């Protein structure tokens, strides 16, 4: 177990050194995408939604960063499954280390975005030290959930290339079915429960927005705190088992 963790650490360092995140300017440059998304959404949705949501800019930025982090983690796992074949065939490196090590770059990006959210929360006098571990914990659970999704889609995309293309087309739409630029109390009686329960990502967004704004957002309850634990465990387990079931076949393709 220690050897596998050490290999994961080494491969993660390799990915960081070979990426733009090895410098401060690289991390800042990688964050321009979420910032542009934030400004566009703020300009478009400030009047119809923002005026009815307290601390709208902070909650919007939190949601954009979380959804971007989810998409990036899932995409990194998909690419790892697709392109790790040659390495796994000629080495004894565990598949888990090869697949999960690229996620280090996603954590660098989200760290920059999270730091900005924490600064905004501190400026508004909302930041407390006890909420920081909670925020970090739920970002980690979000990574596990996204990794499970990525493993499933990555395996499917190797077996049938259309799966990857469908994901690339649908992933930008995830933000529209997640309470990022609107709140659940603005939706109809049937759409609010559908988005809250059929989209597991919604629970992560609600928890993070509540923690950073220091006030419960519409739709928050005890189960919302539990839901991410359940969804991350289920999706990661299902994704890993699905990948391992077809791993031999994937290496032979």
How confident is the model over 111-157, as pLDDT tens digits? Answer: 888 888 998 999 888 888 888 999 999 999 999 999 999 999 999 98
Whether residue 65 is predicted with pLDDT greater than 60 in this model: the reply is: yes
For residue 61, give every residue at least 6 positions away whose Cβ sits within 8 Å of its Cβ, in sequence order, or none.
38, 113, 116, 117, 120
Least confident span in 49-53, 157-161, 169-173, 193-197: 157-161
Rounded distance between C-alpha atoms, residue 68 and residue 109, angstroms = 10
Q: Which is more confidently placed, 120 or 25?
A: 120
Q: What percentage of the chain reaches a pLDDT higher than 90?
A: 49
Structure-derived torsion over alpha carbons of residues 206, 155, 101, 105, reported in degrees to the nearest 10: -50
Q: Supply the mean pLDDT for the chain.
A: 84
Residues of 203-242 as b/e, b for ≥16 C-beta within 10 angstroms? bbbbbbbbbbbeeebbbbeeebeebbeebbeebbeebbeb
pTM for this prediction: 0.89
pLDDT at position 195: 95
Q: 56-83 vs 131-159: helix axis angle to the nearest 10?
A: 40
Q: Which is more confidently placed, 200 or 253?
A: 200
């Amino acid at each position: 177990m220690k050897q596998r963790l050490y290999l994961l650490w080494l491969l993660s360092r390799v990915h960081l050194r070979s990426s733009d995140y090895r410098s401060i300017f690289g991390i800042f440059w990688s964050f321009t995408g979420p910032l542009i998304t934030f400004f566009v959404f703020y300009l478009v949705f400030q009047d119809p939604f923002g005026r009815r949501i307290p601390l709208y800019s902070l909650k919007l930025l939190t949601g954009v960063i979380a959804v971007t982090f989810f998409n990036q983690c899932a995409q990194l796992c998909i690419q790892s499954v697709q392109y790790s074949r040659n390495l796994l065939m000629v080495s004894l490196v565990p598949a888990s280390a090869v697949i999960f090590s690229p996620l280090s770059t996603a954590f660098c990006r989200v760290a920059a975005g999270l730091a900005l959210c924490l600064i905004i929360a501190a400026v508004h006098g909302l930041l407390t030290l006890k909420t920081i571990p909670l925020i970090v914990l739920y970002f980690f659970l979000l990574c596990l959930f996204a990794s499970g999704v990525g493993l499933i889609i990555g395996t499917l995309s190797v077996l049938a290339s259309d799966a990857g293309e469908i994901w690339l087309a649908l992933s930008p739409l995830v933000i529209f079915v997640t309470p990022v630029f609107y709140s659940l109390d603005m939706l109809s009686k049937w759409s609010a429960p559908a988005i809250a329960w059929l989209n597991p990502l919604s629970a992560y967004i609600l928890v993070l927005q509540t923690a950073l704004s220091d006030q419960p957002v519409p739709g928050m309850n005890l189960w919302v705190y539990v839901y991410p634990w359940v969804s991350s465990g289920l999706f990661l387990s299902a994704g890993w088992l699905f990948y391992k079931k077809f791993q031999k076949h994937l290496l032979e393709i």
